[in-house]
Each structure stands twice: as structure tokens, then as C-alpha cells.
Amino acid sequence: MLLGCIADDFTGATDLANTLVKGGMNTIQSIGVPAPGMDVGKTDAVVIALKSRTNPAKDAIKDSLEALAWLRERGAKQILFKYCSTFDSTDAGNIGPVADALLDALKADFTIACPAFPETGRSIYKGYLFVGDVLLNESGMENHPLNPMTDANLVRVLARQTKNEVGLVELATVQKGADAIRARFEQLRGTGVRHAIVDAVMDNDLIEIGRAAKDLALITGGSGIAMGLPGNFRSDGVLTDSFQAALPGIKGRSAVIAGSCSKMTRAQIAHTRRNWPSHNIDPWDIASGKDVVTGVLAWAEKEGADTPVLIYSSADPDEVKAVQKEFGREKAGAMVEETMGEIAKGLLSQGVNRLVVAGGETSGAVVGALDVHALRIGPEIDPGVPWTEAIGGVPLALALKSGNFGAEDFFEKSLGMLS
């Protein structure tokens, strides 16, 4: 293994793995820290997907250090800690505390923090993070229920999460190229800076930053920072092949499970419902004790022989609010997620082995219910979402997308690629 990655959430891990595959690295995503004996075969990169973004910092540190130990044992030459491109975190962490713990464990004294991803509108200038045309704290992220981002200055944000010094590599330096960036790293390190926010507004900036970070034991950032890393391993002569991802060669029935209530997923459902049989899962039915799972599985068995079936709980914000008001946000979410997991299990036993799932938490619930522990990453469907194939267990092709990803025809497009 060349690159070992620790991602703080599930669909973010897939996004990173997708970037590495596009860069020609054979990549596997593990769901949680792999069991000690798990065989990942021959691979250039492993991305361990944790669920540590919003956990208490001490738990996030513990999980991240366990992931690090596994990756180092397998010979990872460099470690990448991946978080959200909107720097999702609070003053209590977890980006600063986890980065500090990883640096300590690696006996390293300097790393970078660069969540920029221009392709998805995330750019950093003078340390300020922009989302599209606006500052992070005007992008809607200031209202995030778990980690409201009310300050767009990442030097200040990160400084509140670590007792160590935080510095900045400005765009003027970045655009001079890798040598200038590396010299600035050395200068900052020499003045006791342990974390450097790095400006980037274009893909090429990320590639130069990646080149400059070649000898850092730890890199932290969004999936964009991975763009320049395959080239480093290539220039060192340790990455000789350019991995060409293949579609999962799996024949069988197909289904879509959607638990995301995001605007894009709802548009995707509206688009696909016109062409495919579809079935709505109503949280009020689940709560009333109705056997929703048996009902939908009987329907799918009948409908799904030739056409994919679409099963969704997705609802508009007013309906979601009403459900959350009655049952509480967490309980409502968990109740629907558990049902979607049970449905996925039932579909698998009906011979469905091509499955598209919409929603980050929903994807986590489905892979958990299906007992999937690792995924081989295949070709990209839409930006940030690849086809994957479960490793071990029954043959299963999975496309797992976070709510807002993918174009309106994502469901048809993804399953169309396999036919």
C-alpha cells in the first residue's frame, strides 16, 4: 500500500477513493477499521471510512489512531486525513485534535490543512473558505444543525481547535509552484507552526500543493488534496501502473433505495418515478408498528423481475419536520434507516445484487445491514460517486451517494451503465 487514508465519514470516504481511482490508483474503501486479519489483496490505497465527524473528540482520536495503526502495519508510506470540504467541525474539534494525535503518533511536527475542492466550488483565499461565490459562513453552513460554521477564516477556526501554532500558505506562493510552496512549509515549520492552511482556487493549485507535500508523513484536507498525490508515487517509481477501474461485472436484479431528503435526491426520485415502479416508505407507518418491510418486499418481488424498483422514504422539508417533531430528529432518522437496512437485506435475498443508495446515513445503514465491510472502487458515475463492488460475501454492486450528489437522471444513468 502506498497511501493510507482516514476519512471522518462514509460518503466522504467514497468521494476520496473516487479521486484516487481517477488518478490511476487501485483503491479499496473499508467500512470502519478493518478486522486484523482482513485481506485487502493488492492495492495502492486504502481509505478507512470512520463515523467520527461529530463524535466527541476523544472518541474520534481513538478511532483515527486505530485506523492509523492498521494502515501503518500494512506499510502505508503516507497518511491522508480526509474531512469535509466545508471544514465541518466545532471549536471542540475534531479536525485539530485528530490531526494533532496523528502527528504525535507519526512523530511528525508539521502538516497542512487544505479542504479546497474547486470542482465542487470550495476554494480558499487568504485563509478564507468560499463555497461557490460566498464565504463559508454565508453559504447555509452557518445553520448546520451539528456543526454550524460561523467563521470562514480557517486559520482562526483551526487555531481554536489546537493549542499548536496555525499558519497560512498564501495563494501568491502556491501559484509559484511546488518548490516555492515547499520552501514556505519549511519556513513555517522553522517558526514553530504545526498546521498550515493552504490557499487554493484552481485544480492546478491542488496538484502543486500535492507535489510540495510529497515528503510529509501526514496530509489533511478534502478529497481535492488527493489529486496531486498519485503523481508523487509515480515520480518515485513506486506506482508504475495506471489503474483502470472496471465496472462490477454483476448480473441480476436492480433496485434503488433512497433515504435522503435532500433537494437533489427528491428531484432524482421525481424524475425516475415516471419510468420505474416505485414504493414510498412512510415513517408514520413504521412508527405505528405496521409490517412495512414485508409489504414492500412482496411488492418488489412481483414488480422487479425486469425493471429496477425504486423504494424511497424521502419527503419534503415540511413532512420531515412533522415527523421529527413527533419522534425527535434522531429517533425518526434511526427508525427509517433501520427499515431501509431491513429492506436492503430482503432485496438481496430476492436476488437483487445491483443496488443504488441515496443518502450518507442511509448508505451507512444499508452496508451495515448487508454486513459489507469493504468496497473495491470502480468507475465514476457522476462527480464524486463511483460504482463499487463489495469485497467478500455475495456478489454485490453498490453505488452509494450522499444526498445532494449526482444529476437528475442519476438512478437511470448508474444502473444503465451496468446493463
Work out how close the CB of 405 gets to ligand ADP at its nearest, in angstroms, rounded to a whole number: 8
Sketch the per residue contact string, 281 through 310, with ligand ADP: x for CB under 6 A, - otherwise: --x---------------------------
Contact (Cβ atoms closer than 8 angstroms) between residue 268 and residue 258? yes
DSSP classification of residue 55: S
Residue nearer to ligand ADP on the CB measure, 260 or 388: 260
Does 366 bind ligand ADP (CB under 6 A)? Our answer is no
- Here the contacts of 61-64 (C-beta below 8 Å, separation 24 or greater) are 61/94, 61/97, 61/98, 61/101, 63/33, 64/6, 64/98, 64/101, 64/102
Does 314 bind ligand ADP (CB under 6 A)? Our answer is yes
Sheet bearing 134-135, strands edge to edge: 122-125, 128-131, 134-135
Q: Give the residues across from 268 on adjacent strands.
A: none
Residue nearer to ligand ADP on the CB measure, 12 or 346: 12
Stretch that binds ligand ADP, among 86-94, 194-202, 302-310, 331-339 (CB under 6 A): 331-339
Positions of E strands within 173-232: 193-198, 218-221
Stretch that binds ligand ADP, among 80-88, 216-224, 355-363, 388-396 (CB under 6 A): 355-363
**Peptide bond between residue 137 and the one before it cis (omega within 30 degrees of 0):** no
Contact (Cβ atoms closer than 8 angstroms) between residue 405 and residue 241? no
Does 341 bind ligand ADP (CB under 6 A)? Our answer is no
Residue nearer to ligand ADP on the CB measure, 68 or 323: 323
Residue listed under C-alpha cell 425518526? 332
Does 15 bind ligand ADP (CB under 6 A)? Our answer is no
Neighbours of 260 (CB within 10 A): 26
Does 278 bind ligand ADP (CB under 6 A)? Our answer is no
Residue nearer to ligand ADP on the CB measure, 221 or 360: 360
Among 141, 332, 370, 398, binds ligand ADP (CB under 6 A): 332
Among 46, 76, 178, 261, binds ligand ADP (CB under 6 A): 261
Does 406 bind ligand ADP (CB under 6 A)? Our answer is no
Does 168 bind ligand ADP (CB under 6 A)? Our answer is no
CA 115/CA 402 separation, integer angstroms: 18
Nearest Cα residue to 407 out of 384, 389, 388, 387 = 384
Q: Give the residues across from 398 on adjacent strands.
A: 355, 388
Contact (Cβ atoms closer than 8 angstroms) between residue 192 and residue 165? yes
Q: How far is CA 270 from CA 39, 156, 285, in A?
A: 41, 42, 22
Stretch that binds ligand ADP, among 48-56, 107-115, 211-219, 353-361 (CB under 6 A): 353-361
Does 359 bind ligand ADP (CB under 6 A)? Our answer is yes
DSSP secondary structure, 145-188, as one string: SSS-----BHHHHHHTT-SSEEEEE-HHHHTT-HHHHHHHHHHH
Stretch that binds ligand ADP, among 12-20, 161-169, 208-216, 359-367 (CB under 6 A): 359-367
Judging by DSSP bridges, how do beta strands 3-7 and 45-49 pair with one another? parallel
Residue nearer to ligand ADP on the CB measure, 142 or 338: 338
Among 93, 333, 346, 386, binds ligand ADP (CB under 6 A): 333
Residue nearer to ligand ADP on the CB measure, 336 or 399: 336
Residue nearer to ligand ADP on the CB measure, 38 or 335: 335
Does 262 bind ligand ADP (CB under 6 A)? Our answer is yes
Work out how close the CB of 65 gets to ligand ADP at its nearest, in angstroms, rounded to a whole number: 26
With CB under 6 A, what is the number of residues at the site for ligand ADP? 21
CA 266/CA 331 separation, integer angstroms: 22
Among 402, 411, 414, 415, binds ligand ADP (CB under 6 A): 402
Can you tell me whether residue 247 is helix, strand or coil? coil
Does 85 bind ligand ADP (CB under 6 A)? Our answer is no
Residue nearer to ligand ADP on the CB measure, 66 or 282: 282
Kindly list the residues in this chain that would bind ligand ADP in the complex (CB under 6 A). 259-262, 283, 313-315, 319-320, 323, 332-333, 336-337, 359-362, 402-403
